[in-house]
């Protein structure tokens, strides 16, 4: 069997390919955001690719090009904003809807968008975001006697990630701590200005390669994910896999077994951060529960086995 993976999102495709059996031949077609790379260059690469199954991430031009070039069987893998926002767009929505209707199989990375996918394609199923257990694995919590370190791991996007609300919540925590955040995301400049305005003890670092994110998680006493649309993000999953207690907003309607909280307001976040920074036993308890959850539900080894079954069923049919 040869798998042709097209594009990626949050390293999901790359991680899954890594854990497919060694006898599976694989090709990963990646692109940049440059005009040529994501249009004609992409089309040329897809046209020349020959495989037994094609798996494309994000339901925009990559998926559309693969469909129009007759690449079958084709899996369309939706990751969130494509079915949450872009599908409603007057400019690009038709492409997303076309892709949904014509893919042989649809996977969605968030249960929050599963119903939308099923409106157009009955094959749609929720496929959890994987983490790489060789990169993200647990280490003991730091044994700091003084000031704790809180890592805000999400890219700054006030609308989707709600990182501004996390900053406001952090400013109300009475326990001294240092906040580390990445200079990344469309609202990064606004976030830096807001953090200074709120008087936070903040360290702003540059974006690091994905394989180095584990060090940032391990160095932290507590990791903040997002306080946005209520989906489960990659950074929260990877931080939990590294054995760090995580504060991250999810909608319990869609994640009933996930040991993250459905946060109602900034006060909830402030109180939770305070508890986890001052109560070592509570931090360890949450760490263990979250670690068990991600190992069971998001480990790439197990998810690669499920993906191989999906590939086999498509090829057989």
**Integer Cα distance of 227 and 158 in angstroms:** 9
**What is the tens place of the pLDDT at every residue in 169-209?**
999 999 999 999 999 999 999 999 999 999 999 999 999 99
Q: Tell me the three state secondary structure of residue 88.
A: helix
Residue written as tokens 């097209």?
Answer: 6
**Integer Cα distance of 6 and 295 in angstroms:** 27
Q: Residue 262: is its pLDDT beyond 90? A: yes
* Fold: same for 2-130+299-316 and 148-297: yes
Terminal alpha carbon distance of the chain: 14
Tokens of 133: 């257990």
What pLDDT sits at residue 290?
98
**CATH number for the domain formed by residue range(s) 2-130+299-316:** 3.40.50.2000
**What is the tens place of the pLDDT at every residue in 76-105?**
999 988 999 999 988 899 999 999 999 999
Interhelix angle for 61-68 vs 40-48, to 10°? Answer: 50
Residue 231 φ/ψ, nearest 5 degrees: -95, 165
Beta-strand (E) ranges in 23-167?
25-29, 53-57, 74-78, 105-108, 125-126, 148-152
CATH of 148-297, one of 3.30.2090.10, 3.40.50.2000, 3.90.380.10, 3.40.50.720: 3.40.50.2000
Residue 126 φ/ψ, nearest 5 degrees: -75, 125
What pLDDT sits at residue 31?
84
112 and 231 in contact (C-beta within 8 Å)? yes
Residue written as tokens 């854990």?
Answer: 19
H-run or E-run covering 61: helix 61-68
pTM for the model: 0.94
Residue written as tokens 């749609």?
Answer: 124
pLDDT confidence bin for 50, thresholds 50/70/90 = very high
Domain ranges of the chain: 2-130+299-316, 148-297
Q: Tell me the three state secondary structure of residue 28.
A: strand
Tokens of 157: 């996007």
């Amino acid at each position: 069997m040869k798998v042709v993976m097209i594009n990626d999102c949050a390293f999901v495709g790359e991680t899954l390919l890594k854990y497919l059996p060694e006898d599976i031949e694989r090709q990963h077609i990646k692109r940049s955001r440059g005009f040529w790379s994501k249009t004609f260059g992409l089309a040329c690469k897809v046209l020349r690719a020959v495989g037994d199954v094609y798996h494309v991430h994000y339901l925009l031009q990559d998926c559309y090009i693969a469909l129009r070039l007759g690449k079958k069987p084709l899996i369309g893998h939706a990751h969130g904003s494509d079915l949450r926002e872009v599908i409603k767009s007057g400019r690009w929505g038709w492409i997303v809807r076309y892709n949904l209707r014509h893919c042989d199989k649809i996977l969605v990375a968030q249960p929050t968008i599963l119903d939308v996918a099923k409106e157009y394609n009955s094959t749609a199923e929720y496929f959890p975001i994987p983490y790489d257990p060789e990169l993200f694995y647990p280490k003991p919590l730091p044994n700091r006697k003084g000031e704790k370190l809180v890592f805000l791991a999400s890219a700054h996007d006030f609308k989707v990630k709600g990182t501004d609300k996390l900053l406001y919540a952090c400013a109300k925590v009475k326990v001294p701590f240092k906040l580390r955040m990445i200079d990344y995301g469309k609202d990064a400049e606004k976030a830096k200005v807001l953090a200074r305005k709120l008087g936070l003890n903040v360290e702003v670092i540059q974006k690091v390669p994905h394989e180095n994110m584990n060090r940032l998680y391990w160095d932290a006493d507590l990791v903040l994910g997002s306080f946005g649309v209520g989906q489960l993000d990659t950074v929260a999953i990877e931080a939990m896999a590294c054995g760090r207690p995580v504060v991250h907003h999810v909608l319990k309607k869609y994640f009933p077994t996930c040991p993250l909280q459905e946060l109602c307001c900034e006060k909830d976040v402030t109180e939770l951060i305070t508890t986890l920074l001052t109560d070592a036993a509570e931090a360890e308890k949450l760490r263990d529960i979250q670690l068990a959850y991600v190992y069971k539900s998001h480990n790439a080894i197990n998810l690669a086995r499920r993906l191989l079954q999906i590939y086999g069923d498509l090829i057989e049919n």
